């Protein structure tokens, strides 16, 4: 081919691209003609974009380079971020967008953001159109909306398809308003106040939308780009960078919850153990916060679509003050509930490891069983770095508790790691060493090398039967400890699949902002990753937390589970036969156990509710469904209370619903009681097999 021919081809391709771009731009500008101002990127955004892309390609664990495949992922993620419910864009819109699905990689490397901003401007125009239409419907909803029709709307947004045209979108918007009104009625909102509530809610959303600026769009789009690498990689512009610690936790004069944005909602990821929210028994991981009110009577402000830093500021407040949260509960995702929590600080002493001794009668013998609850892996780094010999840490505290328990001549030990979100890697390593002779504990793999952390102390602080109790909220450093105990077969892991947080993040300065990116991954000594899959128990309990809504695997784009090279380590005696026997005994016992049967029935009921493909928009049908659900919940609860010798309280149905007799702590006790029985069986088997640890 001659240079002249080659040049001609390039010119032809360029003209074709330019023509398509002009058509696309013309289409989007006409679609957003009702917006007074089209928002464009600032010059500094271009240089920031180039910096972010270079840092991602150079430092991220996956060593990904932006290419056509990544470009497609970015577009899909961007559309899902802007329109998760498929209620704004149409099939025609999406077809136009897909013409550029292989263009983002080239644009980003050169700092070109026009396509991203053009898509956002269309989103802005369509969002404005939707909110204004809903506001017109609100004025006459009592007269014009018919709640006796047997129509429905798709409940699971992942099952929704893009609508063919805007007229179909109007129908969807109308249905969503009807569902909102039904939810308010079912939440006992007075009919006379519903119009005012709706007008305030949608007017505020419209005002927030119209306040969107160029910096907001840049942050949203760049975090779409970082999310295409993994969900823990995030860009913080200067303002958000200053509030980074608030983004991560509300433990300081707040409610003690870790939050994360999930599309237009603020979602509870986990609760700080012993924090105000945890103690309240009112909030759970997976719940979505849609409104925040100050004090016992303050107006609840709608937070759907708000930036997480704004939601955090509303939730935080002075100690002993109250905050009210309007939530969509994880276990009842078609309902709305308002709860009240008293703000407080998480006290250090309440976060410390604690011990307990339970005496039980088993097979004509009395057993003393020790329990050590570890809420997190903590260390006073300041005192440690100063060389203070009495610095406070998880390992040092547990070591003292083990000494006290051994003096009490316990027959077995349970380490309770439920809801332990992790903490110091150093402490996870050293705590493991209290139960092993010596050897590797965890592997940390970066792009360039693998580092192995060892327990180098041959002494063992406790050598008797050991059970580690975990649940879905057991994460990070906790999973390293549980994984090592499992791999060495030093003890039995009991509970449910853990969180699966097996990645390491680091903060890198980026001009005036910061980039948090994933730089390493944890692997067990067996070579299995703790990422995504988590730690699987040897003996499994019913799942109190829904795996679909909680844990690493619930996060879009989470890095997968994989394996690496196994390290050399000496296992203890095989527990395969012991685990098989423990499972058999547990299954036999669970058939008649009141607590386990209660849990199973509640989980089954919640699953049926959440797995509904659609929601009825007939008010009478929804009222009937709610009544049936609440009656079933009360019946299951009362059946359990009677089975353990406690009479059901004489209250009205609504009082029973509002004042639950069975709290989160009661559920935890049900599973701890089972663990005590599993430990008793474990002790029997250990004695029969003459185990020596």
pLDDT tens sequence across 181-230 = 999 999 888 888 899 999 999 999 999 999 999 999 999 999 999 999 99
Q: Which two tokens stand for residue 228?
A: 């295409």
Give the 3-state secondary structure of residue 141: helix
Q: What is the pLDDT of residue 645?
A: 87
Residue 64 a catalytic site member? no
Closest CA to 428 of 473, 395, 461, 392: 395
Q: Is the pLDDT of residue 533 over 80?
A: yes
Instruction: Read off the pLDDT of residues 260-278 as tens digits, 9 standing for 90 and up.
Output: 877 778 888 888 888 899 8
State how far Cα 31 lies from the chain centre.
Answer: 36
pTM of the model: 0.87
> For the ranges 132-136, 386-390, 575-579, which has the lowest average pLDDT?
386-390
Residue span of the structural domain in which 435 resides: 352-574
Tell me: do 329 and 460 sit in the same domain.
no
Q: In total, how many domains does the chain have?
A: 3
Residue 139 a catalytic site member? no
Final residue belonging to a domain, choices 311, 342, 373: 342
Closest CA to 619 of 141, 139, 149: 149
Burial class (CB in 10 A: 0-12, 13-18, 19+), 160: middle
Question: How many residues appear in the chain?
Answer: 693
**Own/partner long-range contacts of 648-656 (Cβ < 8 Å, ≥24 apart):** none
With tokens 């136009």, the residue in question is: 96
- For residues 602-607, give the mean pLDDT: 89
From residue 377, give the alpha-carbon distance in Å to each of 85, 121, 390, 615: 39, 46, 17, 43
Q: Is residue 581 part of a domain?
A: no
Instruction: Read off the pLDDT of residues 617-674 as tens digits, 9 standing for 90 and up.
Output: 999 999 999 999 889 989 999 999 999 888 876 655 544 444 455 677 788 999 999 9
Closest CA to 119 of 173, 154, 75, 156: 75
Q: Which of 86, 501, 514, 521 is catalytic?
A: 501
Q: What is the pLDDT of residue 349?
A: 65
Q: Is the pLDDT of residue 130 over 80?
A: yes
- For residues 387-392, give the mean pLDDT: 85
Alpha-carbon torsion (7, 13, 16, 18), positive or negative: negative
Q: Is residue 185 part of a domain?
A: no
Q: DSSP letter at 542?
A: P
Q: What is the pLDDT of residue 31?
A: 44
Q: Is residue 449 part of a domain?
A: yes
Q: Is residue 307 part of a domain?
A: yes
Q: Is residue 25 part of a domain?
A: no
Final residue belonging to a domain, choices 574, 589, 609: 574
- For residues 384-403, give the mean pLDDT: 91
> For the ranges 52-61, 335-344, 579-588, which has the lowest average pLDDT?
335-344
Instruction: Read off the pLDDT of residues 476-522 as tens digits, 9 standing for 90 and up.
Output: 999 999 999 999 999 999 999 999 999 999 999 988 789 999 999 99
Residues in contact with 47: Cβ distance below 8 Å, sequence separation at least 6, in sequence order: 111
Tell me: do 405 and 272 sit in the same domain.
no
Q: DSSP states of 5-57 as a string?
A: HHHHHHHHHHHHHHHHHHHHHHHHHHHTTTSS------HHHHHHHHHHHHHHH
Q: What is the pLDDT of residue 83?
A: 95
Q: What is the C-alpha separation between 271 and 277, in angstroms, rounded?
A: 7
Q: Is the pLDDT of residue 51 over 90?
A: yes
Tell me: do 260 and 162 sit in the same domain.
no
Tell me: do 361 and 272 sit in the same domain.
no
Q: How many C-alpha atoms does 335 have within 13 Å on its Cβ side?
A: 19
Tell me: do 440 and 558 sit in the same domain.
yes
Closest CA to 203 of 192, 191, 211, 213: 211
Tell me: do 496 and 442 sit in the same domain.
yes
Tell me: do 245 and 320 sit in the same domain.
yes
Q: Which of 487, 549, 593, 681 is catalytic?
A: 487
Closest CA to 204 of 83, 332, 292: 292
Instruction: Read off the pLDDT of residues 62-120 as tens digits, 9 standing for 90 and up.
Output: 988 999 999 999 999 999 999 999 999 999 999 999 998 999 999 999 999 999 999 99
Query: Percentage of the chain with pLDDT > 90?
Result: 64
Q: Is residue 187 part of a domain?
A: no
Which CATH number do you get for residue 266? 2.30.42.10
- Maximum pairwise Cα distance, the chain: 97
Closest CA to 499 of 555, 583, 540, 556: 555
**CB atoms near residue 328 (< 10 Å):** 18
Tell me: do 435 and 336 sit in the same domain.
no
Q: What is the C-alpha separation between 606 and 604, in angstroms, rounded?
A: 6
**DSSP β-ladder status, 365-373 and 354-362:** antiparallel
Please check whether residue 203 is in contact with residue 135, taking contact to mean a CB–CB distance below 8 angstroms: yes
Tell me: do 317 and 374 sit in the same domain.
no
Residues in contact with 660: Cβ distance below 8 Å, sequence separation at least 6, in sequence order: 281, 637
Tell me: do 496 and 360 sit in the same domain.
yes
Q: Is residue 337 part of a domain?
A: yes
Q: What is the pLDDT of residue 225?
A: 96
Residue 331 a catalytic site member? no
Tell me: do 320 and 359 sit in the same domain.
no
Q: What is the C-alpha separation between 250 and 275, in angstroms, rounded?
A: 10
Q: Which two tokens stand for residue 188?
A: 């006992």
Q: Is residue 319 part of a domain?
A: yes
Instruction: Read off the pLDDT of residues 295-354 as tens digits, 9 standing for 90 and up.
Output: 988 888 889 878 777 888 899 888 889 999 999 888 765 678 889 999 887 666 677 899
Closest CA to 372 of 442, 493, 466: 466
Final residue belonging to a domain, choices 574, 608, 642: 574
The terminus-to-terminus CA distance of the chain in angstroms comes to 76
Q: Which of 393, 476, 478, 554 is catalytic?
A: 476
**CB atoms near residue 390 (< 10 Å):** 7
Q: What does the mean pLDDT of the chain come to?
A: 87
Tell me: do 134 and 274 sit in the same domain.
no
Q: What is the pLDDT of residue 257?
A: 86
Which CATH number do you get for residue 475? 3.90.226.10
Q: What is the pLDDT of residue 401?
A: 97
**CB atoms near residue 63 (< 10 Å):** 10
């Amino acid at each position: 081919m001659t240079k002249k021919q080659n040049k001609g081809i390039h010119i032809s391709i360029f003209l074709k691209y330019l023509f398509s771009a002009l058509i696309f731009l013309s289409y989007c500008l006409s679609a957003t003609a009702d917006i007074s101002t089209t928002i464009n990127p600032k010059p500094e955004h271009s240089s920031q974009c180039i910096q972010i892309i270079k840092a991602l390609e150079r430092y991220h664990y996956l060593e990904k380079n932006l290419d056509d495949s990544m470009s497609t992922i970015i577009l899909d993620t961007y559309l899902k971020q802007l329109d998760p419910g498929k209620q704004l864009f149409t099939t025609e819109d999406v077809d136009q967008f897909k013409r550029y699905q292989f263009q983002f990689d080239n644009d980003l490397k050169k700092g070109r953001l026009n396509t991203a901003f053009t898509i956002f401007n269309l989103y802005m125009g369509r969002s404005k159109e939707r909110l204004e239409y809903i506001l017109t419907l609100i004025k006459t909803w009592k007269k014009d909306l018919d709640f006796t029709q047997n129509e429905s709307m798709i409940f699971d947004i992942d099952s929704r398809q893009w609508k063919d045209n805007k007229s179909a979108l109007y129908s969807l918007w109308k249905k969503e308003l009807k569902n909102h009104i039904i939810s308010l009625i079912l939440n006992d909102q007075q009919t006379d106040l519903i119009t005012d509530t709706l007008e305030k809610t949608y007017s505020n959303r419209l005002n927030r939308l119209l306040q969107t600026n160029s910096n907001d769009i840049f942050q949203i789009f760049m975090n779409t780009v970082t999310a295409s690498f993994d969900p823990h990689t995030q860009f913080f512009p200067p303002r958000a960078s200053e509030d980074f610690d608030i983004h991560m936790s509300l433990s300081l004069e707040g409610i003690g919850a870790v939050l994360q944005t999930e599309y237009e909602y603020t979602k509870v990821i986990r609760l700080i153990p012993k924090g105000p929210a945890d103690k309240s028994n009112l909030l759970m991981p997976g719940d979505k916060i849609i409104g925040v009110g100050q004090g016992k009577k303050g107006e609840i402000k709608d937070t759907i679509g708000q930036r997480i830093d704004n939601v955090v500021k509303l939730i935080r407040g002075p100690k002993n003050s109250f905050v009210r949260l309007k939530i969509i509960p994880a276990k009842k995702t078609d309902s709305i509930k308002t709860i009240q929590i008293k703000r407080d600080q998480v006290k250090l002493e309440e976060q410390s490891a604690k011990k307990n001794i339970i005496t039980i009668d088993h097979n004509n013998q009395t057993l003393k069983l020790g329990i050590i609850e570890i809420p997190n892996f903590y260390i006073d780094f300041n005192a440690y770095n100063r060389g203070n010999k009495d610095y406070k840490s998880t390992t040092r505290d547990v070591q003292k508790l083990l000494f006290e328990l051994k003096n009490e001549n316990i027959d077995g030990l349970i380490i309770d790691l439920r809801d332990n979100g992790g903490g110091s890697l150093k402490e996870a390593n050293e705590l493991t060493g209290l139960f092993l002779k010596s050897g590797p504990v965890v592997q940390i793999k970066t792009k360039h090398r693998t580092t192995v952390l060892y327990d180098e102390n041959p002494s063992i602080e406790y050598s008797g039967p050991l059970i580690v109790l975990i649940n879905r909220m057991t994460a990070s450093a906790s999973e390293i400890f549980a994984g090592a105990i499992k791999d060495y077969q030093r003890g039995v892991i009991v509970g449910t699949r853990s969180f699966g947080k097996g990645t390491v993040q680091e903060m890198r300065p980026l001009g005036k902002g910061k980039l948090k990116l994933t730089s390493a991954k944890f692997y067990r000594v067996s070579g299995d990753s703790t990422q995504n899959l988590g730690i699987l128990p040897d003996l499994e309990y019913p799942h109190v937390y829904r795996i679909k809504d909680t844990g690493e695997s619930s996060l879009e784009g989470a890095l997968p589970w994989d394996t690496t090279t196994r390290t050399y380590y000496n296992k203890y005696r095989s527990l395969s036969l012991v685990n098989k026997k423990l499972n058999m005994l547990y299954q036999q016992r669970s058939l008649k156990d009141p607590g386990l049967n209660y849990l199973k029935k509640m989980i089954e009921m919640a699953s049926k509710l959440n797995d509904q493909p659609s929601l009825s928009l007939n008010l009478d049908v929804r009222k009937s469904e709610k009544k049936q659900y609440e009656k079933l919940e009360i019946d299951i609860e009362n059946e359990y209370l009677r089975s353990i010798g406690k009479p059901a309280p004489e209250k009205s149905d609504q009082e029973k619903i509002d004042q639950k007799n069975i709290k989160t702590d009661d559920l935890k006790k049900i599973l701890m009681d089972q663990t005590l029985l599993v430990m008793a069986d474990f002790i029997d088997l250990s004695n029969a097999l003459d185990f020596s640890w």
